[in-house]
């Protein structure tokens, strides 16, 4: 599928973005493991989260409301999942895979988990290693690194785990396995990654504490189902934030965006670049901070994006590269080697695709250097099956001269169903 983008002068209007993908996955998983009913409002009906729903249905969990935006999960408790008669399919979703492996590790049955071609190339040893140390057994290619993976779960022991990567998926996999172990499981990461798992576990009744970059969880808690209201996804809002910021004369308000401090790195970067971004109507929703984000267009300056900022905006880097291309001066992105193991190699693909727009961009092993300030030229570009690449290219198309055609736009509903309609609502053809 192709998305055809015509340049536009400015974006105007008020809009909300679909529910947060990370929180929607966790609502299904923890709702399933809780006692009683969990009602999820503003659940993201994106393909990744629907893959999570499919896996839990296959393990006997009753989930209703897939036709609307309110999902109801009948929790089965920590002991209640059933062996799936078929292979579990995580589709394109790394979050489904890694978090689910943590849960499957604690089950007294066998499971087989697979995904699409992109997911079959992504590293899983980062979770199968600590889960093996906890007592689970895996069989998979490349030393249990690649899907498909067979898992034989069982009685787990709590561990103290030191992760090499600042990854919420790794941290969450170990913590979710820790639910099934007696005693305290702890995870220490190099810098803090998104903490939605910890927040939701607490909200459902588990004992979780953070000390610096370490999170500790007491095993075998009694989780209680509850209402969960999912905030708008800042990673989806990012495309609109950047689009408005690079189009002078724009003025948009994105309502109800989750601005959890472990996720809001894009707001810091926009601020550093001199963008006019305002946080309005701050409030808290089920333990997650939420606000309306107003963005006005203007001129941007190059910046550096590195260090502990990276995990706070990892999924926003493709679109931040577009902001950098439109800014005056140079932008350096480093410490972001993780980008190479996402849905595509996001360093190589961003460099190649933005290069087609005429952007001067140098690929580095852990990031990229972008020379901003040259005008972009409309082009034909590819998503490489990566939703964030497709949407970043579309945003570049809004400021480029002439028409831009994004091939592989069918990847977009993985995280942002309705993306094209959102652009139209704000004035794009
Ligand atoms: O835990 C999560 O929900 C996610 C964590 C991040 O991945 P890593 O944990 O691999 O960095 C992020 O890129 C992904 O989109 C969602
Ligand atoms: C990396 C992403 O997701 P996942 O790891 O869940 O596939 C993403 O949404 O950009």
- Complex ipTM more than 0.90, yes or no: yes
Distance CA 316, CA 388 (A): 8
Does the CB atom of residue 95 touch ligand 2 within 6 A? yes
| pLDDT for 4 beyond 80 | yes
Angle subtended at Cα 114 by Cα 113 and Cα 120, rounded to the nearest 5 degrees: 135
Q: What is the mean pLDDT of residues 154-158?
A: 96
Give 125's Cβ-side CA count (13 Å radius): 7
pLDDT band at 240 (very low <50, low <70, confident <90, very high): very high
Q: Which domains does the chain have, with CATH numbers?
A: 2-19+231-425 (3.65.10.10), 21-217 (3.65.10.10)
Does the CB atom of residue 172 touch ligand 2 within 6 A? no
Closest CA to 311 of 166, 124, 173, 162: 166
Residues near ligand 1 (Cβ within 6 A) = 22, 94-95, 167-169, 172, 193-194, 314-315, 338
For residue 172, the CA-to-ligand 1 centroid distance in Å is 10
User: Whose atoms come closest to the Cα of 195: which ligand?
Assistant: 1
For the annotated binding site, the residues are 21-22, 26, 94, 122, 167, 169, 315, 342, 346, 388
pLDDT of residue 338: 98
- In the chain, the percentage of residues whose pLDDT exceeds 90 is 98
Rg of the chain over Cα atoms, rounded to whole angstroms, equals: 21
Residue 262 tokens read as 């472990």
Cis peptide before 303 (omega within 30 of 0): no
Distance CA 376, CA 292 (A): 30
Q: Which of 95, 199, 233, 266 to mutate to test the pocket of ligand 1 (most atoms within 8 A of CB)?
A: 95
| pLDDT for 164 beyond 70 | yes
Nearest CA to ligand 2 atom 5: 94
Residue 391 tokens read as 């949407």
Residue with tokens 């952007």: 359
Nearest CA to ligand 1 atom 3: 22
pLDDT of residue 409: 98
- Do 347 and 321 form a contact (C-beta atoms < 8 A)? no
Q: DSSP state, 20? A: P
Please report the atom of ligand 1 found closest to the CA of residue 166.
11
Does the CB atom of residue 24 touch ligand 2 within 6 A? no
Distance CA 389, CA 4 (A): 15
Does the CB atom of residue 94 touch ligand 2 within 6 A? yes
pLDDT band at 69 (very low <50, low <70, confident <90, very high): low
pLDDT band at 429 (very low <50, low <70, confident <90, very high): confident
Please report the atom of ligand 2 found closest to the CA of residue 388.
10
For residue 52, the CA-to-ligand 1 centroid distance in Å is 14
Q: State pTM to two decimals.
A: 0.98
Of 255-264, 270-279, 284-293, 360-369, the range with the lowest mean pLDDT is 284-293
Residues with catalytic roles? 315
For the annotated binding site for 3-phosphoshikimate, the residues are 21-22, 26, 167, 169, 315, 342
Please report the atom of ligand 1 found closest to the CA of residue 338.
11
410: exposed, middle or buried (C-beta count within 10 Å: 0-12, 13-18, 19+)?
Answer: middle
């Amino acid at each position: 599928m192709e998305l055809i983008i015509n340049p536009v002068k400015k974006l105007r209007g008020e809009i909300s973005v679909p529910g947060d993908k990370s929180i929607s996955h966790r609502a299904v998983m923890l709702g399933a493991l809780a006692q009683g009913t969990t009602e999820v409002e503003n659940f993201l009906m994106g393909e990744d989260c629907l893959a999570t729903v499919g896996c839990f249905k296959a393990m006997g969990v009753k989930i209703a409301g897939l036709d609307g935006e309110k999902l109801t999960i009948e929790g089965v408790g920590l002991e209640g999942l059933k062996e799936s008669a078929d292979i579990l399919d995580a589709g394109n979703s790394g979050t489904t895979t890694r978090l689910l492996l943590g849960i499957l590790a604690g089950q007294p049955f066998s499971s087989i988990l697979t995904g699409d071609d992109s997911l079959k190339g992504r590293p899983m040893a980062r979770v199968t290693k600590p889960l093996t140390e906890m007592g689970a057994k895996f069989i998979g290619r490349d030393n249990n690194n690649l899907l498909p993976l067979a898992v034989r779960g069982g009685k787990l022991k709590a561990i103290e785990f030191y992760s090499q990567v600042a990854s919420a998926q790794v941290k969450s996999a170990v913590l979710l396995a820790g639910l099934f172990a007696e005693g305290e499981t702890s995870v220490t990461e190099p810098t803090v990654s998104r903490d939605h798992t910890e927040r939701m576990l607490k909200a459902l009744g588990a004992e979780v504490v953070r000390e610096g970059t370490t999170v500790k969880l007491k095993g075998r808690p009694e989780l209680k189902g509850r209402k969960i209201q999912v905030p708008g996804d800042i990673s989806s809002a990012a495309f609109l934030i950047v689009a408005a910021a690079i189009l002078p004369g724009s003025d948009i308000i994105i309502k109800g965006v989750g601005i959890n401090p472990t996720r809001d790195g894009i707001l810091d970067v926009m601020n550093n670049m001199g963008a006019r971004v305002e946080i309005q109507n701050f409030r808290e929703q089920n333990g997650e901070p939420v606000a309306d984000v107003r963005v006005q267009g203007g001129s941007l300056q190059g910046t550096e994006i590195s260090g502990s900022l990276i995990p706070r905006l990892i999924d926003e880097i493709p679109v931040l590269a577009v902001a950098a291309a439109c800014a005056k001066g140079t932008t350096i992105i480093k410490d972001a080697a993780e980008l190479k193991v996402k849905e595509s190699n996001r360093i190589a693909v961003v460099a190649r695709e933005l290069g087609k727009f005429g952007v001067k961009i140098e690929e580095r092993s852990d990031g990229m250097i972008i020379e901003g300030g040259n005008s972009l030229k409309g082009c034909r570009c590819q998503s490489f099956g990566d939703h964030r690449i497709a949407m970043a290219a579309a945003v570049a198309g809004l400021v480029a001269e002439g028409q831009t055609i994004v091939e592989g736009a069918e990847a977009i509903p993985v995280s942002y169903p309705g993306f094209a309609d959102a652009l139209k609502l704000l004035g794009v053809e």
